[in-house]
Structure 1
Amino acid sequence: MIQAAPPDTLPTLKKRAEFLAVAKGGRMPRRAFVLQAADVPGPPRIGYTVTKKVGNAVERNRIRRRLRAAVRAASDAARTDLDYVLIGRRGALSQDFSELTGDIRAGLQRASTAPSAGPRHGKRGARSKPTPVPKKQG
């Protein structure tokens, strides 16, 4: 039996393609999460993800639950023309819930769809090839 989402929450993103579409939009990093937003036609939706770098499954699920609860409290601030993805960080476990809700509310209101400047992927600390030194003649 499929349970319907409570009326005070945003519908969720389910498919990988939906998450990838939102990842092409703007990013807003915070201590407890990174908020991504993209302009997608239709009602606003939200997706939650926490990478395996953030700890074991118990911690990741706890972070996801805290983010969902904070979004429920701040869902009235969501813009109607955007889809959102929240990427959870370990800071979501230690941050005060009212601060977390305030950060999410501010992020939902100020989310930008413009891609952030600079490359997001690639090698960290990658160096360009050194310029060759001309050989001395003589």
Structure 2
Amino acid sequence: MGDQARWLVIVEKAYRGSVETQYADALYPVADLHRQSGGCDLALRGPAAGYALDSGFRPSLRLGTRTLDTLPDPSASVAKLLAAGVTVLVEEDGLAAYGRTAPERLLPGVRVIEGDGLAALWPAYEQVWFL
């Protein structure tokens, strides 16, 4: 957790997006919240823990003769947030659902926390947001 972090943003539901939301995903507003709040941390739990994994998969969709390769890629969004200075936490319990090799596939810079450790951090934040 960074010293300047004032807000905690929690994402639990994993939704990869679709053709209609090809420019954004559930993490899209986090960069603005980070910039506007003076700093925030992102916690990924449950199915959204998979956003912190590098699967090597890049989403694309074939429609007739056209391939759409601009679909949301949550792991790329997490990497951009890390580069912007957002602290990214992922709950151990959510990560376990992705198999025993999941910790090896974590994006560099993502911190794993115990399943019951997240609620203990809440008092350190000015605001806690669920996206």
TM-score band (shorter)?
A: under 0.3
Larger Rg: 1
